[in-house]
Structure 1
Amino acid sequence: MTTFDMLFFHVFQYYKNKKVRKADAIATCYLTFLQCALLLLLGVFFSKFFKQMHVETMSSSKAWTLYVIAVVFIYFKNWMQYGGRKRKVRNANILKNKRLNYSIWLIWFVPFSLLALSYILYQAF
């Protein structure tokens, strides 16, 4: 189990009790949001790094287009990976092993803090 799997199932288990029919969609959107925030942070870091090293790699518009394509790919990858039978098997394995004890507020704080770090890094140089 990866960290993303554990976070997905924790969000899924939390919202399964609150919103039965939307728990899978909420957990998939959360995981996509988290992975896209990480991708944005890495993209901003490398963009600023290459700018300081005076390396011309690609234009800003091409980079944003590549980012949007990556976001769509990440969403469909998560939708395929955590939908259907695979999710049920993994969920059963997680429930057998242990109960996750993370605060849902802390879990939702992580992607927003990554976005804040991306903004700070973008403004820093």
Structure 2
Amino acid sequence: MNTFDALFFHFFQHYKTKKSKKANSIATFYITFLQCSLLLLLGVFFAGFFRQMRVDTMSASKAWTLFIMVAIFIYFKNWMQYGGRKRKVLNAKMIKNRKITYNIWLLWLLPITILGLTYVLFQAV
């Protein structure tokens, strides 16, 4: 079980008690949002790196198109991964390991902080 699985099930368990029918959708959205923000941070970092190295690999419009396509792929991958039987198997494993608890507000702040860092890095490039 990786970190994203643990974060997914933490969100799922938190929202299962409050919004039982929407818990899976909220947790899937959060994991997708977190992964896409990390992908955007890496993309901006490498764009700045390649610009300083004077490597012209891809135009900005093609890079944004690629990012949108990968973000859609990540959403569907998470939707399929956490919507079916694998979620039930991983949920059974998570019930055994209830050691780690996170503050839900700090977890929501994590992708927003990553987006802020991405913005700062984008302005520096």
TM over 0.5: yes
Q: Distance in 2 between matches of 1:83 and 1:99?
A: 24
Q: Which residue does the alignment assign to 1:97?
A: 97
Q: CA offset at residue 96 of structure 1?
A: 1.4
Task: Structure 1: state its 5+ residue gaps.
Answer: none
Q: What is the aligned-residue RMSD (CA, Å)?
A: 0.8
For structure 2, list consecutive stretches of 5 or more residues without a partner in the other structure.
none
| Separation of aligned partners in 2, 1:11 and 1:106 | 12
Distance in 2 (CA, whole Å) between partners of 1:38 and 1:112 is 10
Give distance in 1, aligned partners of 2:55 and 2:86.
Answer: 43
Aligned residue for 1:36? 36
- Residue 112 of structure 1 aligns with an amino acid whose one-letter code is I
Q: Match for 2:42: what amino acid?
A: L
In the TM superposition, residue 99 of structure 1 has moved relative to its aligned partner by 4.2
Question: Using the alignment, how far apart are the partners of 2:74 and 2:84 within structure 1?
Answer: 17
CA displacement 1:83-115 (0-9 Å, x = unmatched): 122111110110112243100001101100010
Query: Which residue number in structure 2 is paired with residue 51 of structure 1?
Result: 51
Q: TM-score, normalised by structure 2?
A: 0.97
TM-score, scaled relative to structure 1: 0.97
| Aligned mates of 2:86, 2:53 — CA distance in 1 | 44
Provide the C-alpha distance between the structure 1 equivalents of 2:100 and 2:16, rounded to a whole number of angstroms: 14
